[in-house]
């Protein structure tokens, strides 16, 4: 079974993908992402691999005949890709060189461009799950990309908030958040020429760091060569600092937040909340409806650790009411993570 099912309570879609039940844990001594496996090239630096167990597919089956007047289904159209960071099975993102991470940034950019050319794709989510604490079953260093046929609810809320803030103030919301954090200072982690990192005032997670571009850019396609280099550098610095904080591999979920694609009519247009068939008009870019004016590229980390060996669980309040509770003051956690980042940056000799 593979389909989308609409939740009328939340006005969002649930992906149903029973094929993912067959997804294996890492076979001992037999990694499909390592050179020599026959699944990937014998030589690569970074590599795009089509997911063997996708939740979304460019050739989805017809949904089961379970829809009613109240319950809607739709084909699970889209694309799921695995992005391999390195041929080295034991490498992790912070262990890669800045020049190697730049190759990863370039691959993300290439895939964002390629996936946006399918008019039925409405949101392209680039992300990484790291560590068994967040359900990772394949230890080889990798991230993923999902191209959805709609804009998922959390991103819809964020886009609407940015639009409304801009309408009320004339400012970009993320630009204002960047300025607020820089002015206060205590939640700042580090900055480079083109990016800034902090644990924002409102985060759900004790170590829920953001990385945001200083310049107002809406997606990864907008970055110059120098900004791509700088993104690679700050990714290494921040994730290396996370590992140094508790002297252990730091589990996290990392998500790139970017503008949607192919939305005729902007936020109110077809495909914002519901999958639609592609048509000749579906080539409108986000900038045609002003999203580049009010939406701003940033990366969000959702790390489950609250201390070296204690996890923050999303229990009833967080899951059932969407009422997050952060167990620690981020002014304190930011100080600790900042010290670890600065210490690691000096150890690595990165300017």
Predicted confidence (pLDDT) at residue 257 exceeds the cutoff of 60:
yes
Mean pLDDT computed over every residue of the chain: 93
Predicted confidence (pLDDT) at residue 301 exceeds the cutoff of 80:
yes
- In this structure, what DSSP letter does residue 222 have? G
Active-site positions? 142
What phi and psi, each to the nearest 5 degrees, are found at residue 213?
-70, 140
The interaxial angle of helices 225-245 and 330-348, nearest 10 deg, is 110
pLDDT tens across 86-131, in order? Answer: 999 999 999 999 999 999 999 999 999 999 999 999 999 999 999 9
pLDDT tens across 149-161, in order? Answer: 999 999 999 999 9
Could you tell me how far CA 102 lies from the centroid of its own chain?
17
- As a whole number of angstroms, the distance between CA 115 and CA 51 comes to 14
218 vs 54, 238, 257, 261, 301, CA distance in Å? 27, 21, 9, 11, 18
Q: pLDDT band at residue 27, thresholds of 50, 70 and 90?
A: low
What pLDDT is stored for residue 64 in this prediction?
A: 94
What pLDDT is stored for residue 264 in this prediction?
A: 78
SS3 193: coil
Q: Which two tokens stand for residue 273?
A: 């909340």
Mean pLDDT of 142-148: 98
100-102-105 Cα angle (round to 5): 125
Report the residue count for the chain: 351
Which stretch of DSSP H or E encloses residue 197?
strand 195-198
Q: pLDDT band at residue 267, thresholds of 50, 70 and 90?
A: confident
- For 269, other C-beta atoms within 10 Å of its C-beta total 18
pLDDT tens across 52-70, in order? Answer: 999 999 999 999 999 999 9
Its pTM surpasses 0.85: yes
Q: pLDDT band at residue 24, thresholds of 50, 70 and 90?
A: low
Q: Residue 256's closest CA among 155, 170, 161, 181? A: 155
Q: Residue 342's closest CA among 184, 182, 197, 183? A: 197
Name the strands in the sheet holding 73-74, side by side, starting at the edge strand that comes first in the sequence. Answer: 12-17, 2-7, 73-74
Q: pLDDT band at residue 252, thresholds of 50, 70 and 90?
A: very high
Considering only CA atoms, give the Rg of the chain: 20
Predicted confidence (pLDDT) at residue 25 exceeds the cutoff of 80:
no
- For 124, other C-beta atoms within 10 Å of its C-beta total 28
What pLDDT is stored for residue 274 in this prediction?
A: 82
Any idea which of 111-115, 211-215, 347-351 has the lowest mean pLDDT? 347-351
Mean pLDDT of 255-284: 76
pLDDT tens across 274-286, in order? Answer: 886 655 444 444 4
């Amino acid at each position: 079974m593979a389909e989308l099912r609409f939740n009328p309570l939340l006005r969002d879609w649930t992906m149903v993908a029973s094929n993912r039940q067959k997804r294996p844990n890492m076979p001992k001594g037999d990694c499909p992402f390592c050179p020599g496996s026959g699944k990937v090239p014998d030589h690569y630096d970074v590599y795009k691999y089509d997911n063997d167990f996708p939740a979304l597919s460019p050739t989805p089956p017809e949904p089961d005949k379970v829809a009613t007047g109240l319950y809607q289904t739709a084909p699970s159209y889209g694309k799921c890709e695995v992005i391999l960071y390195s041929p080295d099975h034991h490498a992790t993102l912070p262990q890669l060189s800045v020049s190697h991470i730049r190759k990863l940034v370039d691959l993300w950019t290439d895939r964002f461009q390629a996936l946006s050319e399918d008019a039925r794709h409405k949101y392209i989510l680039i992300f990484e799950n790291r560590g068994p604490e967040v359900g990772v079953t394949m230890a080889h260093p990798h991230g993923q990309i999902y191209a959805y046929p709609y804009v998922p609810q959390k991103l819809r809320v964020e886009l609407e908030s940015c639009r409304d803030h801009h309408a009320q103030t004339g400012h970009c919301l993320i630009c204002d958040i960047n300025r607020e954090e820089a002015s206060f200072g205590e939640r700042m982690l580090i900055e480079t020429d083109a990016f800034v990192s902090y644990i924002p005032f409102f985060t759900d997670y004790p170590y829920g760091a953001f990385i945001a571009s200083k310049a107002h850019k809406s997606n990864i396609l907008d970055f110059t060569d120098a900004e791509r280099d700088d993104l690679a550098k700050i990714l290494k610095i921040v994730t290396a600092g996370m590992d140094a904080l508790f002297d252990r591999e730091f589990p996290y979920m990392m998500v790139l937040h970017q503008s949607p694609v192919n939305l005729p009519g902007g936020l109110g247009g077809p495909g914002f909340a519901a999958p639609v068939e592609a048509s000749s008009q579906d080539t409108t870019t986000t900038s045609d409806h002003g999203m580049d004016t009010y939406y701003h590229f940033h990366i969000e980390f959702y790390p489950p650790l609250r201390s070296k060996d204690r996890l923050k669980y999303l229990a009833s309040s967080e899951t059932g009411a969407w009422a997050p509770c952060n167990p620690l003051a981020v002014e304190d956690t930011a100080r600790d993570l900042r010290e670890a980042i600065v210490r690691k940056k000096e150890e690595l000799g990165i300017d």
